[in-house]
Structure 1
Amino acid sequence: MIQHFHFKPLFENSQLPGWVITFYYKQQYYKAEYNKDGSIKWIGIKPSEEELVAVEKMIHELMLFHVYD
């Protein structure tokens, strides 16, 4: 489960889409860029290949709830 999920716009002009997201997953801190097309660019480490699909699905759901609602 993702914990302490935060997001902020990439650009000062919040009209431009793109966000920096940060969160903890299994006691590990992650940081990434979330683009308007739903692509995720990891900054630093990323979840293991086995967990990547599940983590990205959780991120998409959180972004839909917080940003696109």
Structure 2
Amino acid sequence: MLQHFSYKPMYENKQLPGWTFAFFFQKKRYTGDYLPDGTMTWIGDTPSDEENVKKMIHELMTFHVYD
């Protein structure tokens, strides 16, 4: 389960799409970029259960950003 999930637009004018996100997973902090097509790139380490984590992030982003 992801904890303390947060996201913000990559660009100040918010017209260009893209978001940065951060969260804790298994007591470790992870950050990355989320692009409008659902592509994610990690900044730093990659979670050990990457595919499952990506699914959780995609669900959260769909709910918060595209709602």
Q: How does 1:4-23 map to 2 (within 5 A)?
A: 4-23=4-23
Secondary structure at the residue paired with 1:36?
Answer: coil
Residues 19-58 of structure 1 aligned to structure 2 (within 5 Å): 19-48=19-48, 51-58=49-56
- The CA distance in 2 between the partners of 1:25 and 1:65, in whole Å, is 19
Q: Distance in 1 between matches of 2:30 and 2:16?
A: 23
Q: CA RMSD in A?
A: 0.6
Q: For structure 1, which runs of at least 5 residues remain unmatched after alignment? A: none
Cα deviation, residue 65, structure 1: 0.6
Question: Aligned partner of 1:34: which letter?
Answer: Y
Q: Given the two structures, how large is their TM-score scaled by the length of structure 1?
A: 0.94
| Aligned counterparts of 2:15 and 2:6: Cα–Cα separation in 1 | 19
Gaps of at least 5 residues in structure 2 are: none
The number of equivalent residue pairs is 67
Tell me if 1:60 matches 2:62: no
**Distance apart, 1:15 and its partner CA:** 1.5
The runs of 4+ residues in structure 1 deviating greater than 6 Å are: none
Cα deviations across residues 27-67 of structure 1 (Å, max 9, x unaligned)? Answer: 1100000011100010000112xx11100000000000100
Alignment TM-score, normalising by the size of structure 2: 0.96
Letter in 1 for 2:63: F
Give the secondary structure class of the aligned counterpart of 2:36. coil
